[in-house]
Homo-oligomer: A and B are copies of this chain.
Amino acid sequence: MTKILYATDYVDKKTTEIKEKIDSLKTVPELAIIRVGEDPGSLAYEKGINSTAKKLGIEVNSFVFDKDSKTEDLVKKIKELNEDKKIGGILVFRPLPENIDEDEIALAIDEDKDIDCMNPINMAKVYNGEVDGFIPLAPKASVELLKFYGYELKGADTVIINHSNVVGKPLAMILLKELATVTICHIGTEDLKKHTQNADIVFTAMGKAEFLDENYFNENSTVIDIGTSKNKEGKYRGDLDEESVNGKIKAFSPVPKGIGSITNLLLLENVIKNKN
């Protein structure tokens, strides 16, 4: 029997916790979104955030800049939002157009409102092992889901397929903090199967729909699927070939109804983090 690690129960529990916290607040901090242009991915993300925020009772303020905007236009707005006491968190959609200096934007965001962990001060904290502050959302969601299902990470052999700055690297830092052994694989890895077959837990964010079949795993494998991309039929799926592995491995988090359904919630939790 393969256990499917649906996020549903975790999401319900977390939603209740956030609502309770909101009820205890004198004033509810608001979210500020900065979006440049009309990228379809960003629009979909914004829609999802708005929907979750509405359920929680958190106000969202979107500031939309046209594609030809300059770095200083965004920095000016960010500085206003830094000063604005009703704003609890600032989210800048990425990727930004090439004419905008992402490093400068990241530095402009007040580190206490940096809910998406863009500012290098917050990134450095993650890498220094301080994982209780703002940390990238998909890595945090992955580890939270495993803990919700009672997994012990200490001493576990883990493999991460992704070495990006927003997923693979920060996830490695969180797992190291938990004293898991961590292997980071990527496009340069010569024999991916060798690593995944020998791991207790595999985290994948390849963006190759249904790529990983039963041959990559063993009967004790748990897979956390962070990937989302279109399969041949044009449907959004994870990296895992769920049909192939079902019955052959220990457990996996599905796509949809897995990691992706947690991240918006954790983002919005960050808006009210450390507030009273």
Contact = CB atoms under 8 A, between A and B. Distances in A.
Interface string A181-200: 11111111111001100100
A248 interface: no
A184 B186 contact: no
A121 B104 CA distance: 12
Nearest to A177: B163
Please state the number of chain copies in the assembly.
2
Interface residues of A, number: 33
Residue of A121, A157, A184, A195 with most chain B CB atoms under a 10 A cut-off: A184
A183 to B, nearest CB: 4
A63 B186 CA distance: 45
A167 interface: no
Interface in A69-128: 120-121, 123-125, 127-128
B165 A128 contact: yes
Contact of A190 (B128, B155, B194): B155
Interface in A179-220: 179-191, 194-195, 198
Interface stretch (A139-147, A168-176, A236-244): A168-176
A176 B165 contact: no
Given A121-B124, A123-B128, 9 more contacts: A120-B120, A120-B121, A120-B124, A120-B128, A180-B188, A181-B186, A181-B188, A182-B184, A194-B198
10 contacts: A120-B120, A120-B124, A121-B124, A123-B124, A127-B165, A127-B169, A129-B165, A155-B189, A172-B172, A181-B190
